[in-house]
Amino acid sequence: MELNINSLRPLTGDGRRLFVETYGCQMNAGDTEIVVAIMQNEGFVYTDRIEEADVILINTCSIRDNAEQRIWGRLSEMRRYRRRKPSLLVGIIGCMAERLKERLVEGENGVDIVAGPDSYRDLPRLVREAGSGGKGVNVLLSSEETYAEIAPVRLDKNGVSAFIAIMRGCNNYCSYCVVPYTRGIERSRDPQTIVAEARSLFENGYREVTLLGQNVNSYSFGEVGFPDLIRMVAEISPLLRVRFATSHPKDISDRLLETMASMSNVCRAIHLPAQSGATSMLARMNRKYTREWYLGRVEAIRRYMPDCAITTDLIAGFSGETEEEHEQTLSLMREVGYEFAYMFKYSERPGTFAQRHLPDDVPDEVKTARLQQIIELQNELSEQSNRRDVGREFEILVEGVSKRRDDQLFGRTSQNKVVVFDRGTHRVGDYVRVRVTGCTSATLLGEEIFQ
């Protein structure tokens, strides 16, 4: 009998327990699943109970200052766990690791391991180094790493919908944004590995995948562009829904809209971050489009898919924002009638173009007041959009049991709105046709249509 050399190799993990805490965006959630895959392969055992952990990794976000402040707070709490288990190793991974580097190992809350978004394959070695009394630090960014062949260990287990990272990094350099510095330059993942991952999810009962990247419209691998990739994934099965995020307005092409419109399992939902409604502000933000261009793209979306939901990101109080520019953001919101928006107060980030060259000169109380106006308007728009859906029919994909009542299920429409309805004989993962009978500001209520 042949010996399997691999099984004789001493594994770094040796049954030690790994806990990972994740902050920030969906990309980070996906990265955590890759990290767990890499560590399991080295003999670590994943636990979802922090008290049991021998190694704690914190996957961090740097997008706004308050995200980082939360993590500093969390680091000071780690002392408690260390006191209980002196052999415990604590690591910071992700964007904040990239931004602050060696500084994170210093001081009384200093950690043992620091790994940037492109050095996760090196984590077992970094843990080994930390375990033998040193500090494990690797924050090298790569122009090639996509973790293409690593099968993520799915941690958020609804078993129905999953995220697939199709690219990493960002080349857009919006003047306020730290992402190009923390996640490095843009690179696309081999489409064959993406399709294989989606197919394997489908075969394991998943019914929805969301293709993720900072700017999915600039996906490009050999001859394959984003519309081709969408088609390849959507052709796996008509029963597999396909979503994607995020689109940059400057790159969303008619070819993509045409492809979406031709395939009913590509969901009718586009996240199209506007950031601001004023052309002068968009120029300061280095967004590379005007208000008119943006509205032209919205019009194109509506032309190809009249029932497509459009959602957005907005920033209040960026450098030099005048009252008039703010008003233009509000008017853009009304003109588009967003279904949903993520809304933020501008937070200056070290190292960005804005921090180096543009003053953070909108007083905090003005930022707060403008953000409040944006939020109130969006609440109205979301409610109006929900009310328009009452009486309409939708096919929903069931994701789980309603939190309020266990004789009800919830699922999502193609437009990504949540609908709650009576369970009947249905199960998670089923497609059900419902008619919307009512709504709250956040949820649609529906009843099954029997035919």
Interface with ligand 5AD, residue 284, by CB under 6 A: no
Q: Binding to ligand 5AD by residue 44, rule CB under 6 A? A: no
With CB under 6 A as the contact rule, which of the stretches 119-127, 165-173, 276-284, 338-346 interacts with ligand SF4?
165-173
Q: Which of 91, 117, 136, 180 binds ligand SF4 (CB under 6 A)?
A: 180
Question: Is residue 346 a contact point for ligand 5AD (CB under 6 A)?
Answer: yes
60 binds, among ligand SF4, ligand 5AD, none (CB under 5 to 8 A by kind): none
**Other CB atoms within 10 A of residue 11 CB:** 15
In the bound complex, what is the minimum distance in angstroms from residue 344's beta carbon to ligand 5AD?
A: 4
450 alpha carbon, distance to own chain's centre: 36
Task: Choose the binding region for ligand 5AD from 31-39, 195-203, 247-255, 342-350 (rule: CB under 6 A).
Answer: 342-350
Range list of β-strands (E), 73-148: 89-94, 113-115, 136-138
- For residue 91, the partner it binds in ligand 5AD, ligand SF4, none, with Cβ less than 5 to 8 A by kind, is none
Contacted by 344, from ligand 5AD, ligand SF4, none: CB < 5 to 8 Å by type: ligand 5AD
User: Which residue lies nearer to ligand 5AD by CB, 280 or 402?
Assistant: 280
**Contact residue for ligand 5AD among 349, 367, 370, 412 (CB under 6 A):** 349
127 contact partners, CB below 8 Å, separation of at least 6: 12, 39, 55, 89, 91, 113, 136
Query: DSSP class of residue 305?
Result: -
Cβ proximity to ligand SF4: between 12 and 319 the closer is 319
The binding track of 309-338 with respect to ligand 5AD, each residue x by CB under 6 A or -, is ----x-x-----------------------
How many angstroms separate the CA atoms of 408 and 402, rounded? 5
Could you tell me the CA-to-CA distances from 302 to 115, 246, 326 in Å, in that order? 43, 18, 25
- Cα dist from 376 to 66, 143, 440, 442, whole Å: 22, 42, 16, 14
* 174 sits near ligand SF4 (criterion: CB under 6 A): yes
Pairing of strands 113-115, 136-138: parallel
Tell me: does residue 71 bind ligand SF4 (CB under 6 A): no
Nearer of residues 176 and 338 to ligand 5AD, judged by Cβ: 176
Residue 273, interface with ligand 5AD (CB under 6 A)?
A: yes
Token pair 């944004």 is found at 177
- The one-letter amino acid code at 432 reads V
Which of 53, 63, 229, 336 binds ligand 5AD (CB under 6 A)? It is: 63
Does residue number 23 form part of the binding site for ligand 5AD (CB under 6 A)?
no
Q: Which residue type sits at 71? A: I
∠ at Cα 27 (311, 195), nearest 5°?
95
349 binds, among ligand 5AD, ligand SF4, none (CB under 5 to 8 A by kind): ligand 5AD
CB of 336 to ligand 5AD, least distance (A): 15
Asked whether 369 and 340 are in contact (CB, 8 A), the reply is: no
CB distance 102 to 137 below 8 Å: yes
| Interface with ligand 5AD, residue 340, by CB under 6 A | no
Residue 172 interaction partner, one of ligand 5AD, ligand SF4, none, beta carbon < 5-8 Å per kind: ligand SF4
Helices (H), 165-308: 179-183, 191-203, 226-234, 254-262, 279-284, 291-304
Residue 306 neighbours by CB under 8 Å, 6+ apart: none
Q: Which of 64, 207, 243, 248 binds ligand SF4 (CB under 6 A)?
A: 248
Residue from the set 275, 386, 413, 416 that interacts with ligand 5AD by CB under 6 A: 275
Quick one: tokens of 22? 């994740």
Q: How far apart are CA 308 and CA 256, in angstroms?
A: 13
The residues near 317 (Cβ < 8 Å, ≥ 6 apart) are: 345, 346, 362, 366, 367, 370, 371
Does 177 contact ligand SF4 by CB under 6 A? Answer: yes
Binding site for ligand SF4 (CB under 6 A): 170, 172-174, 177, 179-180, 214-215, 248
